[in-house]
């Protein structure tokens, strides 16, 4: 019984120690542990410039400052700056949400955990240097930081969660570390000053709305491993000038590049099997679409229409899919045959009296003269070799319209 009483007393003492709070130099602390002695920074209505020390002494006991309590600086509009100590390990959820913290912030490399919403709505924050050991940027961490112009991403980062930088003022180009394998939905939506993005090599999917309405975004470097681009991912990126999809890409979502008015040409790789309705709708400067996939399907979702870009835009397809597409998913489009597809050469080589020189000339001229697939009755291309032999290519309904005249 005596041992139980002593044990109970010891536990009570530990609980009291862990619940101990004290204030020093305008900062409120709560004891979080003994042996080692640690404290966390608590909420206190802070303002001005705050310098959090690495260690504090209360009575005869020295404590290490290892964490910032959730919401500790929430709504502290008068807060102008905060200096975080080396040895700090975690920043809690909502820790600086809607605070007035201004200018640059360096988060110590000892920090391994930053909670969601930690800097939500810090509109005066200009730049952030994230700690080297940080592996995840949680959801809404920098949401609405409209003044945030630059971010230093840690080299060990693995994931960027939902809305992490939504509505931020990130300016210019960013390179996301190669270690990142997950970028969640809405992560960079409405970052209107972002001009260029280099995505990590291990990223396999871009989620919905990830770069929605990044209106200054001009270029995106897609990784080779990318397999899918989600719905609305680049919708409203009005300055996006070109996209070069990787050969492993399999699907492009609904309205993914809708209203990307600066796009002039799009190439759909042979690996793509699904493309969403209105994926390129509203791309008013799009001049052509080159479709190398022979097995493309259109995902309608809840929409009744089935167009993916304007039906007036020339849609170039391979010889293998020409008839199928022209009477199928692209029946209302201006469908033409790709001039650089290998199968054109294969078709022409069936005529033994056509030289390689003539084949190359035909392949070069088809697209330039913009005739193949057009509704016309006369010859589309005439090529004459050195011996005076003419090759006449008529507007094709099928390969039988390739004719040779001696």
CATH number at residue 280: 3.80.10.10
Count CB atoms within 10 A of the CB of residue 165: 25
Q: Which of 293, 314, 342 is the last residue of a domain?
A: 342
Q: Do 333 and 388 fall within a single domain?
A: no
Q: Residue 187 above 80 pLDDT?
A: yes
DSSP 52-113: --SEEEETTEEEEEEEE-TTTTTT-TTEEEEEPPTT--EE-TTTTTT----EEEE--TT--E
Condensed to tens digits (0 to 9), the pLDDT of residues 344-396 reads: 544 454 455 556 666 665 655 554 444 444 433 333 444 454 455 555 554 34
Condensed to tens digits (0 to 9), the pLDDT of residues 40-83 reads: 999 999 999 999 999 999 999 999 999 999 999 999 999 999 99
Q: What is the pLDDT of residue 396?
A: 42
Given a contact cutoff of 8 angstroms between Cβ atoms, the answer to whether 246 and 220 are in contact is: no
Q: Do 302 and 370 fall within a single domain?
A: no
Q: What is the mean pLDDT of the chain?
A: 85
Q: At 251, which helix (H) or strand (E)?
A: strand 251-252
Q: Do 400 and 264 fall within a single domain?
A: no
- Assigned token pair, 69: 């309590």
Q: Residue 328 above 50 pLDDT?
A: yes
User: Does the residue 90 lie in any domain?
Assistant: yes
CA distance 71 to 148: 20
Q: Do 224 and 149 fall within a single domain?
A: yes
Given a contact cutoff of 8 angstroms between Cβ atoms, the answer to whether 163 and 142 are in contact is: no
Q: Do 205 and 305 fall within a single domain?
A: yes
- Assigned token pair, 94: 């909502």
User: Does the residue 253 lie in any domain?
Assistant: yes
Q: What is the pLDDT of residue 256?
A: 97
Q: Which residues contact 273 (CB under 8 A, 6 or more apart)?
A: 250, 251, 293, 295, 296, 297
Provide the terminal-to-terminal Cα distance of the chain, rounded to the nearest Å: 115
Residue 401: DSSP 8-state:
G
What is the percent of the chain where pLDDT is above 90?
71
| pTM across the whole model | 0.81
User: Does the residue 157 lie in any domain?
Assistant: yes
Q: How far is CA 129 from CA 17, 153, 163, in A?
A: 35, 7, 19
Q: What is the pLDDT of residue 319?
A: 74
Q: How far is CA 285 from CA 97, 309, 386, in A?
A: 42, 11, 41
User: Does the residue 146 lie in any domain?
Assistant: yes
Q: Do 250 and 296 fall within a single domain?
A: yes
Residue 313: DSSP 8-state:
S
Q: What is the pLDDT of residue 337?
A: 76
Q: Do 353 and 335 fall within a single domain?
A: no
Q: Which of 265-279, 291-305, 319-333 has the highest mean pLDDT?
A: 265-279
What is the bridge-based pairing of β-strands 390-394 and 379-384? antiparallel
Give 289's pLDDT tier (boundaries 50, 70, 90). very high
Quick one: residue 373, left, alpha or beta (phi over 0 = left, psi -120 to 50 = alpha)? left
Q: What is the number of domains present in the chain? A: 2
Of residues 379 and 208, which shows the higher confidence score?
208
Give 13's pLDDT tier (boundaries 50, 70, 90). very low
Long-range contacts of 392-398 (CB under 8 A, 24+ apart): 393/362, 393/366, 395/371, 396/322, 396/337, 396/372, 398/322, 398/323
Give 1's pLDDT tier (boundaries 50, 70, 90). very low
Three-state secondary-structure class, residue 248 = coil
- Assigned token pair, 5: 């009483």
CA distance 142 to 90: 16
Q: Do 355 and 291 fall within a single domain?
A: no
Q: Which of 307, 342, 377 is the last residue of a domain?
A: 342
Condensed to tens digits (0 to 9), the pLDDT of residues 95-105 reads: 999 999 999 99
Q: What is the pLDDT of residue 324?
A: 86
Q: Do 222 and 363 fall within a single domain?
A: no
Given a contact cutoff of 8 angstroms between Cβ atoms, the answer to whether 262 and 239 are in contact is: yes
Give 155's pLDDT tier (boundaries 50, 70, 90). very high
User: Does the residue 65 lie in any domain?
Assistant: no
Tally: H helices and E strands in the chain: 4, 30
Q: Do 391 and 308 fall within a single domain?
A: no
Condensed to tens digits (0 to 9), the pLDDT of residues 241-285 reads: 989 999 999 999 999 999 999 999 999 999 999 999 999 999 999
Q: Which of 317, 342, 367 is the last residue of a domain?
A: 342
Question: Which region among 302-316, 319-333, 380-394 has the lowest average model confidence (pLDDT)?
Answer: 380-394
User: Does the residue 74 lie in any domain?
Assistant: yes
Of residues 314 and 30, which shows the higher confidence score?
30
Give 4's pLDDT tier (boundaries 50, 70, 90). very low
Of residues 172 and 347, which shows the higher confidence score?
172
User: Does the residue 109 lie in any domain?
Assistant: yes
User: Does the residue 313 lie in any domain?
Assistant: yes
What is the percent of the chain where pLDDT is above 70?
77
Q: Do 162 and 297 fall within a single domain?
A: yes
Count CB atoms within 10 A of the CB of residue 160: 24
Domain extent for 389: 349-405
CA distance 108 to 83: 10
Q: Do 332 and 385 fall within a single domain?
A: no
């Amino acid at each position: 019984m005596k041992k139980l009483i002593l044990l109970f007393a010891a536990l009570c003492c530990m609980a009291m120690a862990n619940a101990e709070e004290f204030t020093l130099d305008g900062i409120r602390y709560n004891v979080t542990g003994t042996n080692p002695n640690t404290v966390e920074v608590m909420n206190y209505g802070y303002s001005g410039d705050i310098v959090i020390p690495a260690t504090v002494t209360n009575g005869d006991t020295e404590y290490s400052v290892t964490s910032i309590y959730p919401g500790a600086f929430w709504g502290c509009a008068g807060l102008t700056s905060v200096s975080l100590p080396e040895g700090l390990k975690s920043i809690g959820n909502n820790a600086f949400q809607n605070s007035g913290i201004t200018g640059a912030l360096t988060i110590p490399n000892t920090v391994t955990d930053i909670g969601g919403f930690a800097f939500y709505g810090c509109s005066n924050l200009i730049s952030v240097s994230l700690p080297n050991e940080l592996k995840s940027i949680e959801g809404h961490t920098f949401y609405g930081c409209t003044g945030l112009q630059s971010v230093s991403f840690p080299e060990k980062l693995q994931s960027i969660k939902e809305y992490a930088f939504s509505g931020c003022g990130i300016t210019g180009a960013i390179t996301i570390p190669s270690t990142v394998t997950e970028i969640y939905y809405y992560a960079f939506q409405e970052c209107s000053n972002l001009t260029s993005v280099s995505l990590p090599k291990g990223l396999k999917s871009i989620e919905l709305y990830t770069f929605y309405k990044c209106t200054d975004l001009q270029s995106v470097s897609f990784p080779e491993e990318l397999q899918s681009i989600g719905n609305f991912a680049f919708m409203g990126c009005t300055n996006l000038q070109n996209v070069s999809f990787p050969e492993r890409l399999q699907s492009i979502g609904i309205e993914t590049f809708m209203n990307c008015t600066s796009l002039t040409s799009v190439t759909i790789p042979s690996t793509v099997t699904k493309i969403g309705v209105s994926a390129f709708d509203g791309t008013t400067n799009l001049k052509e679409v080159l479709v190398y996939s022979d097995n493309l399907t259109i995902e309608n979702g809840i929409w009744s229409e089935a167009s993916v870009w304007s039906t007036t835009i020339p849609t170039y397809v391979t010889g293998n899919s020409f008839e199928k597409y022209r009477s199928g998913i692209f029946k209302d489009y201006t469908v033409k045959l790709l001039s650089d597809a290998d199968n054109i050469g294969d078709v022409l080589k069936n005529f033994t009296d056509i030289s390689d020189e003539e084949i190359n000339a035909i392949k070069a001229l088809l697209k330039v003269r913009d005739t193949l697939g057009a509704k016309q009755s006369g010859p589309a291309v005439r090529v004459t070799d050195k011996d005076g032999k003419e090759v006449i290519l008529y507007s094709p309904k099928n390969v039988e319209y390739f004719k040779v005249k001696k």
